[in-house]
Amino acid sequence: MSGNGVVDITILGAGPTGLAAAYYAGHRNATVRIVESLEQIGGQVAATYPEKHIYDVAGHPKILGQKLVDLCADQGLQYGADVRLGEEAATLERVGQNGDELLALTTHQGNTYLSRTLIVTAGHGAFEPRKLGIEGIDEWEGKGLHYVVREKETFRAKQCVIVGGGDSALDWTLGLQDTAQPPIRLVHRRDRFRALESSLDEARRLEEEGRVRIMTPCEVRELHGGNGRLEAVTIENTQAKTTEQVGCDALITLLGFVSHLGAIADWGLELEGKRQIKIDPTTCRTSMPRVYAAGDVAGYPGKITLITVGMGEAAIAANNAIAEIRGEKVQPKYSTD
Ligand SMILES: Cc1cc2nc3c(=O)[nH]c(=O)nc-3n(C[C@H](O)[C@H](O)[C@H](O)COP(=O)(O)OP(=O)(O)OC[C@H]3O[C@@H](n4cnc5c(N)ncnc54)[C@H](O)[C@@H]3O)c2cc1C
């Protein structure tokens, strides 16, 4: 499928829920376009925990995050969905075409996509990493500054400085210490960590072996480099008021993500709280005709935001959207052959 032609269903967000919706839609011979603000598919799973194991997705006793979303993509994209990456949804309007009423989704990148229905699977909304408050920090992206660890191999034999006090910072300190150049420096602005105590105990044990150095209460103040590559960072101990410059090829700041529904919240959809679109869970309909929502972004009393729940809602949303387009009764169609 190519070009900007009218499709049956636009799916907004290529996380596990959006990919599941694409599968169910394709299985029912509906045409699909997926619009995703990130340059990759896989949603939160690929963006924030690709190398962590997940244990609670049905049929997968234990699976790496990236592996799960790769399988979701294999399954969801097999019917040829048109995937548009790097496009953040901005406005939603209703337009008439040849007597049909269509939904027109326009992105911040200036493209307009027409469809008969829309399924919003936007998770927590467009999200971006929380950044260090250092002027010009963005210039270091792609030159040694990382907001996520996608592949452990990227950091092999590198001098790594990890910033953060939560589970991600501790997990990756432990996860990289056997392949990165020792010691990995773990910098946190407080003495107390929010991470699991057992992880912190392990980091302290590794510190005794010289593989890890825990630096608190410390903050990264400056980045230094040449030839377009990061070479060192200046770290301040905010209690002792001392600074130290350490060699650093990879500065990994794991300070969490900030997310916001952004423009979606201004479309006039009834919301559930501040961060979710209100749906009827029996149909996944929102307050707007022909607009459905599923997954983390969809809210109702008692909602549990889990991958499995999002996948179930994806099936409900896609089947209801198709029934609405075709004027049929909603009924499941088994995939077995
Ligand atoms: C650290 C961590 C561990 C977790 N562990 C588990 C677990 O073990 N088991 C489990 O079931 N769940 C777990 N979860 C929760 C799980 O990741 C989510 O429930 C799941 O990712 C929701 O999928 P989704 O497709 O609904 O949303 P998301 O995965 O958030 O995907 C939404 C996508 O929509 C895109 N998007 C948002 N706004 C726009 C826009 N305006 N325009 C275009 N694209 C947009 C986003 O970029 C994103 O790619 C965990 C979450 C975290 C953070």
Give Rg (Cα) of the chain.
Answer: 23
Atom of ligand 1 nearest to the CA of 262: 41
Q: C-alpha dihedral over 300, 302, 303, 305, to 10 degrees?
A: 150
- The three-state secondary structure class of 321 is helix
48 lines ligand 1 (CB under 6 A): yes
Tokens of 6: 């009218």
Please tell me the pTM assigned to this model. 0.76
Cα–Cα distances (Å) from 134 to 130, 138, 168, 222, 239, in that order, read 12, 9, 21, 7, 19
Q: How do beta strands 7-12 and 112-120 pair?
A: parallel
153 CA to centre of own chain:
21
The verdict on the CB of residue 103 being under 6 Å from ligand 1 is no
How are beta strands 212-215 and 181-187 bridged, if at all? parallel
45 lines ligand 1 (CB under 6 A): yes
183 lines ligand 1 (CB under 6 A): no
pLDDT digits (tens, 9 = 90+) for 53-109: 999 999 999 999 999 999 999 999 999 999 999 899 999 999 998 888 999 999 999
- The first and second tokens of residue 156, run together, are 């092999």
Let me know: does 250 contact 161? Beta carbons within 8 Å.
yes
| CB of 299 sitting under 6 A from ligand 1 | no
Tell me which of 44, 112, 275 to substitute to probe ligand 1's pocket, judged by most ligand atoms within 8 Å of the beta carbon. Answer: 44
Task: Round to whole Å and give the CA distance between 26 and 79.
Answer: 5
Instruction: Please tell me the predicted confidence (pLDDT) of residue 1.
Output: 41
Question: Could you give the 3-state DSSP secondary structure of residue 326?
Answer: helix
Q: How large a percentage of the chain has pLDDT more than 90?
A: 84
At 257 the pLDDT is 76
Name 293's Cβ contacts closer than 8 Å, sequence gap at least 6: 119, 120, 121, 269, 277, 279, 284, 286, 317
Q: Shortest CA distance to 85 belongs to which of 13, 8, 2, 6?
A: 13
pLDDT value of residue 3 = 58
Please return the burial class of 207, using the count of CB atoms within 10 Å of its CB with bins 0-12, 13-18 and 19+. Answer: middle
* Mean pLDDT computed over 300-313: 97
Task: Return all residues near 201 (Cβ < 8 A) that are at least 6 apart.
Answer: none
Distance 13 CA to ligand 1 centre (A): 9
Q: How many beta carbons lie within 10 A of that of residue 242, not counting itself?
A: 10
Q: Is the CB of 172 under 6 A from ligand 1?
A: no
Residue 2 pLDDT > 60:
no
Proportion of the chain above pLDDT 70, given as a percent: 99
Residue nearest to atom 2 of ligand 1 (CA): 49
Tokens found for residue 327: 């004027």
